[in-house]
Amino acid sequence: MKHKPWNVFFHELVGLRARVLRHLNPRLVGLEGDIVWETSRTILLRVGSREIKILKHEAVFEIELPGGERVVVPGDSILGDPAERTKRLRKGRRR
């Protein structure tokens, strides 16, 4: 299944480009880089030569899909690893 705005929740996010649009920590807002790792609660973003861990539930991300399309994704909606998210969404729940 290709990455589309409606199915971004089903996919692995590693390798995609992301920007932090909102975060409880204002120093993280505006950071942009590649997602290099994802846990159930965090995203590890490579910004230049640094890797910064960002809590998902405190953030809103703009994620660039492989085709160049950008999608705004609330961090709460991507809590859990991809396998957990798929199970949860199949049951009709986003959290």
- pLDDT at position 90: 61
HSE toward the beta carbon, residue 52, CA cutoff 13 A: 18
- pLDDT at position 4: 63
1-17 pLDDT, tens digit per residue, is 576 666 676 778 899 99
CA distance 45 to 90: 28
Specify the pTM: 0.83
Each domain of the chain, given as residue ranges in start order, spans 19-76
Rounded mean pLDDT, 64-73: 91
Strand, helix or coil for residue 35: strand
Q: Is residue 92 very low, low, confident or very high in pLDDT (cuts 50, 70, 90)?
A: low
The amino acid occupying position 79 is L
Q: Among 1.10.10.10, 2.30.30.210, 3.40.50.720, 3.40.50.970, what is the CATH number of 19-76?
A: 2.30.30.210
